[in-house]
Amino acid sequence: MIKVRFLGTGTSHGIPIIGNDHPVCKSNNPKDKRLRSSVLVIWDNYNFVIDCGPDFRMQMLESNCKKIDAILYTHEHSDHVAGLDDIRPFFFKQGKIPIYAHKRVLGALKKRFYYIFDKNYSYPGSPKVLQNIVTSKFNISDKIIIPINAMHKDLQVYGYRFENFAYLTDVKTIDNKEVDKLSGLDVLIINALRIEEHYSHFNLDQALEFISTVNPKKAYLTHISHMLGFHDEVEKILPDNVYLAYDGLEITI
């Protein structure tokens, strides 16, 4: 059994945006308040986090997560990696935390968090990680995970498939051979930034078209900006098998 908790469903600014008077940013509906996008995948006794952004500490507290067996990265943008230092409490309890990412992403992490990776700059209390380069299907213990290649405009990003569930974010284009890896899904999570066209993200229409192509039993939209609209209003216009995710939502697959 796989359980997925949406740790965050917002775009890089989060919602509300600092200093912004857009009506969605002023909403009192908790479903309109979005931390940066991330999920906790609970697969049997394993806890996998996809992306570790700037809201990681609060997300872990709110989810009551006690351990992390691995962190999987989609790409190196700040809203997906900025919280790496906050793995310290897990490191103190568990030892080195395994991380999985494209070689390029690991290189970016080494520059940004040099004191984690280079023992010459380490200090007491700095966390440590076990690096794993993702190139193709890989195992974490007995769990098989399939990376899905996509493009965030000109930047390669990874989605991940776990049995009949897949998570993709920051997608703008994806090759047909990668779409084929998503056949037979029970649940797909995919980004839908806003109503209007965007240069590096699916907008709502593009996300719905992609969902129609992949044809999962259910789909959930994430990486949402205030410009998509109010949660309750957007939900009303979605197809019957498509849902707008929100922070704290838990689904079982």
Give Cβ neighbours of residue 140 (< 8 Å, ≥ 6 apart). 46, 48, 69, 70, 98, 100
Distance CA 214, CA 98 (A): 31
Q: Examine residue 253 and state whether it is found in any structural domain, yes or no.
A: no
Domain that holds residue 180: 2-17+27-135+146-248
Q: Examine residue 7 and state whether it is found in any structural domain, yes or no.
A: yes
Query: For the chain, how many structural domains are there in total?
Result: 1
Q: Examine residue 140 and state whether it is found in any structural domain, yes or no.
A: no
Q: Examine residue 22 and state whether it is found in any structural domain, yes or no.
A: no
Q: Examine residue 141 and state whether it is found in any structural domain, yes or no.
A: no
Q: Quick one: which of 57, 24, 20 has its CA closest to 38? A: 57
User: pLDDT 10s per residue in the chain (253 long)?
Assistant: 999 999 999 999 999 999 999 999 999 999 999 999 999 999 999 999 999 999 999 999 999 999 999 999 999 999 999 999 999 999 999 999 999 999 999 999 999 999 999 989 988 899 999 999 999 999 999 999 999 999 999 999 999 999 999 999 999 999 999 999 999 999 999 999 999 999 999 999 999 999 999 999 999 999 999 999 999 999 999 999 999 999 999 999 9
Please give the radius of gyration of the chain, using alpha carbons only, rounded to the nearest integer.
Answer: 17
Side by side, the strands of the sheet bearing 38-43 are 129-133, 97-101, 70-72, 46-50, 38-43, 2-8, 250-252
CATH of the domain at 90: 3.60.15.10
pTM of the model: 0.97
